[in-house]
Structure 1
């Protein structure tokens, strides 16, 4: 009975995944511009002599662009499911491959197409957090080395001492903050991609059931 209901259930309208990503990128671009105008980027990059903050930003930028390309591909596959005639000769249609392959192999191929690349993306997302933690370790190491070099406390050199101590502390806190923010924002994008891919797989399998029951 449940199978019959699933077969007769109409396909859901395609979600505007590509438009959602463009909206998110537009918001991030505005925030980036606003922070740049207020001098936040110059402060972050200038306070981190290790360059880890810049590396984390570069990883996040490349990953976000990949998410945009991936969202466009997922939405294209959803459109091909609704109308396979839209596919060009040199384009792969996941639904057609699933319907044309034998049972278990078809499912494995479909999951590899829909979810396979996301595993690497989640690993890259974890790299941002690990780079932030690495910056924390380096920052506190710089702080410990500065304290270890003190022979005696000279009040006349207190200003220079505080500057040296806050440099290590700044590296520790700033890299951790940038890594956490990048991890959260990229994780949001990847979670949305996973959910869209889950829905796409379900729709393809539902289409196969409908054809088998016809």
Structure 2
């Protein structure tokens, strides 16, 4: 993985996602199938849609929106949906790149094809080409990881707003009337509800999106590693011409 994405991976969701069994594997067998990563993403999103439908049937979504006058929970959910859709599109792109690399179609404008052709040029700087390939494979993920952290920050912002409302309500109390305890308790729990709901929503979105982005990064890591291995294999394999000579001025023999 490129060094620029290291700070993003220290986020809470990424740290939890890395502890999931199989999350650190470069590429699972199912992902190596045709568009396997995209199919895994579809299955994951299917589970989330089913869970969301169950919550809607139970009335949880309505209560969630009604209990949060700041609408930060709605913003977190919309941000999660948008980033998840982008993750699916990115999984499709990486799957196409994997198919081109495995099929040997290096002339179709693929990143790995450009890398292999560039490293075969005389005097080519392999490290520079490797940096270009790494940026093409991982670069777009940086913004997604940043937005994943924004979900957590929005949840913490909701917590601050909720406790601020709670503190203001407590500060406005001049005296305690036992006959108004029910109304007082209702007004106080409003700020506490905002704090808890936004925090839980932000944490949940951060973890679930972190799982998706972690698999994207692992798949991209495997793609870059396989392209590099293929490049080294071509470099170490001498190509003989019709006259029996090797590559350039190298002799055909040992």
Question: Quick check: TM above 0.5?
Answer: yes
TM-score, scaled to structure 2:
0.75
**Contact persistence 1:146–1:165 (CA under 8 A):** yes
Deviation at 1:123, TM superposition (A): 1.0
Deviation at 1:100, TM superposition (A): 2.4
The alignment partner of 1:150 has SS state of coil
How many residues in Structure 1 have an aligned counterpart in Structure 2? 200
Q: Which residue does the alignment assign to 2:114?
A: 97
Q: Which residue does the alignment assign to 1:181?
A: 204
Q: Which residue does the alignment assign to 2:32?
A: 14
**Contact persistence 2:68–2:193 (CA under 8 A):** yes
Larger Cα Rg: Structure 1 or Structure 2? 2
Matched ranges for 1:36-185 at <5 A: 36-85=56-105, 92-101=109-118, 102=124, 103-185=126-208
**Contact persistence 1:130–1:179 (CA under 8 A):** yes
TM-score, scaled to structure 1:
0.89
CA 149–207 in structure 1, closer or farther in 2 if over 3 Å, else same: same
Distance in 2 (CA, whole Å) between partners of 1:191 and 1:143 is 37
Deviation at 1:76, TM superposition (A): 0.7
Distance in 2 (CA, whole Å) between partners of 1:128 and 1:87 is 40
The alignment partner of 2:38 has SS state of helix
**Contact persistence 1:94–1:110 (CA under 8 A):** yes
Consecutive unaligned residues of structure 1, counting only runs of 5 or more, are 1-11
Query: RMSD between aligned alpha carbons?
Result: 1.6
**Contact persistence 1:78–1:200 (CA under 8 A):** yes
Consecutive unaligned residues of structure 2, counting only runs of 5 or more, are 1-28, 119-123, 238-254
